[in-house]
Structure 1
Amino acid sequence: MRLRTKILILDRRSFLASAAAMAALMPLVGRSANGEPAKLERSKKFADAFAQVLRGVTPVEDKVTVDLPELAENGNFVPITVQVDSPMSEADHVKTIHLLSTANPHARVATFHLSPINAVARIQSRMRLAKTQDVIVLAELSTGQILMSTTLVKVTIGGCGD
């Protein structure tokens, strides 16, 4: 049995019309039926890891700058840079920076230990993300305070499986 395939060739006008239609529909992607942004699932592993890092402390969303792409074409290699605004003195410094993912098979992506000798609270790395999810950065300070930042990363090709 011989299969016949038909190749569709679009002219410039058809291509541009299709692209314009897709661009018009993009704001609707990732929205629920009532038009609100869709809530991403957070795994039980994430909830456990998050609670373990916080140890009852309420995090403050402040002083943490995260450089992470909004769209990761390949979840196997997602670059991340984190910087925490801290004097890095003996009395006031960042002790630990935790990277957590809300939907990876392992919620704790990485933990970085710092001290005043670092002079700047900044880390650069790369991470794997299984699918579209939030990346949570928690910075533990020597004062006991925990700073937090949340960044949504849309992944088009999964980086790690179950």
Structure 2
Amino acid sequence: MRPQPERTHTALARMVPSRQVAVASVMVRQNNCSGDFARALLAATPAGLRVDDPRGRQSDRDGVRRLADMERGLIRVQLVAQELAAGYYDDLFLLALTASFVGSWMRNDVVRLWLQSRYPGNAVTLGRMASRSECARHAKRPMKLAYTPVSAG
């Protein structure tokens, strides 16, 4: 873990402990511990959650409100992203498994001919899916499989 910038430490020190925890949580989830981000969150902090001298520079109330709204929006987006990420890997696993099944079906001559005779449109779509799933997306080359596909013969 790298040390936090001095400006981040200074901004956090100007907040009450409960606000420090909330801001640190936002910064870690956002993977942004920069001094600029900490100062923006400090600016969004209401006066009641700050420990610095109240006679110092006073923030514009409208600016504080808008920054606080942006912070709440950022937190909402982070929570939605966490919910989506939870199902993301399951979906990827199921897609990979489905692509594997489709690929094995399309390599089987009996299944492929049956599909072509009964459902020609679906056979074309599944054939396209199988050929695309056998290539790595970025490199456009065949994937190295951890197993050897069994060909039907």
When the two structures are superposed, what TM-score results if normalisation uses the length of structure 1? 0.22
Instruction: Name the structure with the higher helix share.
Output: 2
Which has the higher relative contact order, 1 or 2, with Cα contacts under 8 A spaced 6 or more apart? 1
